[in-house]
Chains A and B, each alone.
Chain A
Amino acid sequence: MNAAVKTTLSREDVVRLCERVESAQLGAHAIRKLTDEYPAMTLADGYLVQNELRKRWLARGHRQVGWKAGLTSRAKMKQMGVDVPSIGFLMADMARAENSSITVADMVHPRVECEVAFVTKAELKGPNCTAEQVLAATDFVLPAVEVIDSRFSGFKFDLPSVVADNGSSARFVTGGRPRNVADVDLRTLGVTLEKNGEIAALGASAAVLGNPAEAVAMLVNIISEWGDTLPAGSFVMSGGITEAIAVKAGDTVLARFQELGSVSMRFV
């Protein structure tokens, strides 16, 4: 994929759509997917809107901790009806503590998914960033749960719309045990996602593009299209290993990862 290929939106359109998405995110209300009004909107347009959104977060003084890859597994692509992965940015404000209560009132229709998170110790640059370069630049990996929340009605969207909505990013929780990438097989880490004590989804980490490190490399290459690099110390969520599971107030969630421990939270 190449986000730089083609844009159709005017500067005014980008700002207008950014404000619409931002208002839906902050007000926790659903909107129609953006392509209903802009049918010609491209993936590159989606990233223009997302970058505008990120600039606004940064201008308000928030800290960006890193990025997330999304729609990286067959299960997720099938669930959402898309065929290319996407990325979004992660701000410190989106982090929630392990074993804490997470409010659902400020989200539209949250879902949870299990991911391997990477923390880097060296800068990564695209294009042509490889999984090997990602592994060499990784300080450690740790288990994470991402709470995604599409701002589009019925969680129905297409790629340009979901990218504009920052890849449905909402909250994230890390926990468990950090590991050196040399000490684990990043392809075969088994994962279970339990909701209220029952297994709701399971899988192994190869579900993410064959190896989650590939998703991080892909992400580095996407941000290089607008001139960004991934600085040392970045936090990257590599994408859901299983399909996403809907949660509501009263639910408890436990994600268990082979070799990496577990991450738990409850929703209120």
Chain B
Amino acid sequence: MMTPGKIQHYGDALYAAWRERRTIPPLLEQEPEITLEDAYAIQLRMIERRLQAGETVVGKKIGVTSKPVQDFLGVFQPDFGQLTSAMVYQEGDVIPLDTLIQPKAEAEVAFVLKEDLKGPGITAADVIRATDYVVPCFEIVDSRIKDWKIKIQDTVADNASCGVYVLGKTKGDPRKIDLALAGMVLEKNGELIGTACGAAVQGSPANAVAWLANTLGSLGIPFKAGEVILSGSQSMLVDVKDGDELVCTVGGMGSCRVKFAGRSAV
């Protein structure tokens, strides 16, 4: 277990890297013994700094939800990060890439809660009951770790590599949609670049949200009505540059469209 002083040091280092749009070396290179618990403690410190600077927590993101990504990182469970008010874009906004370091886009389904979800003991059925609506979305992931050379501890400490996100405007009722089989179609600049369905995320995105509720409950982190949950990527990571436009369409749910302008730091 890391000392509180080191936790604070690395949390502050990641916060500074985020603010200054630059990367730092992988934490594991500096601290080979770093644990997953240490990494979440560093994440909390990084978020604490952002909240001190005036941001508020608006939700959570779930990462590392697909088997290929879990195999790549050598882990068997997802991870999570916190969404803040500074990460929110509306559909129709142009995302300025010069606010990001080395961004990539992921197409997902977001859940918006209408009731608190307090784990442990939360099931997928509880998630559906507590969900106000589901909506197609894009998460623009970004890494404060040099060249995306991440292990699970690096991405967890770095707020699950969260950048910014945008929700679509068409809301779906989770009671009327087969979340596991809702097809996802991803297009870049008018060309089809991939398809998937909800089952890519833990068998169903509702399973991922239940995992999150139970994990947050055991850590004592609140999970409140009104929060947005990005349930995990159903697509590959998509490189984006100035002028690119992405559209994801989810069967029975609707679509989300996002445009990019400018240049990222890397």
Task: Judge: A and B partners, yes or no.
Answer: yes
**A residues apposed to B, CB below 8 Å:** 74, 185, 187-192, 199, 202-207, 210, 241, 256-259
The size class of the interface chain B forms with chain A is 10 to 19
A189 surroundings in chain B (CB, below 8 A): 183, 251
B203 surroundings in chain A (CB, below 8 A): 199
B119 surroundings in chain A (CB, below 8 A): none
A-B CB contact pairs (8 Å), 26 listed: A187-B185, A188-B183, A188-B184, A188-B252, A189-B183, A190-B180, A190-B182, A190-B197, A190-B199, A190-B251, A191-B183, A192-B199, A202-B196, A203-B183, A203-B196, A203-B197, A204-B185, A204-B196, A204-B197, A205-B195, A206-B183, A206-B185, A206-B195, A257-B181, A258-B197, A259-B178
- Do A207 and B195 form a contact, CB below 8 Å, given A185-B251, A188-B250? yes
User: Cβ of A258 and Cβ of B182 under 8 Å apart?
Assistant: yes
Of listed A188, A190, A192, A241, residue having the most chain B CB within 10 A? A190
Extra contacts besides A206-B183, A206-B192, A258-B251 (7): CB < 8 Å:
A188-B183, A189-B183, A190-B182, A202-B200, A241-B195, A258-B178, A258-B252
**B residues apposed to A, CB below 8 Å:** 178, 180-185, 192, 195-200, 203, 249-252
Residue of B nearest to A262 (CB): B181
B180 surroundings in chain A (CB, below 8 A): 190, 192, 256
Q: How far is the CB of B170 from chain A (nearest CB, A)?
A: 12
B200 surroundings in chain A (CB, below 8 A): 202
- Alpha-carbon distance A207/B251, docked complex (angstroms): 13
- Alpha-carbon distance A187/B182, docked complex (angstroms): 11
Residue of B nearest to A204 (CB): B183
Q: How far is the CB of B257 from chain A (nearest CB, A)?
A: 15
- Alpha-carbon distance A241/B195, docked complex (angstroms): 9
Residue of B nearest to A242 (CB): B195
- Do A210 and B192 form a contact, CB below 8 Å, given A190-B197, A199-B203, A203-B197? yes
B249 surroundings in chain A (CB, below 8 A): 187-188
Q: How far is the CB of A177 from chain B (nearest CB, A)?
A: 13
- Alpha-carbon distance A210/B195, docked complex (angstroms): 10
User: Cβ of A256 and Cβ of B181 under 8 Å apart?
Assistant: yes
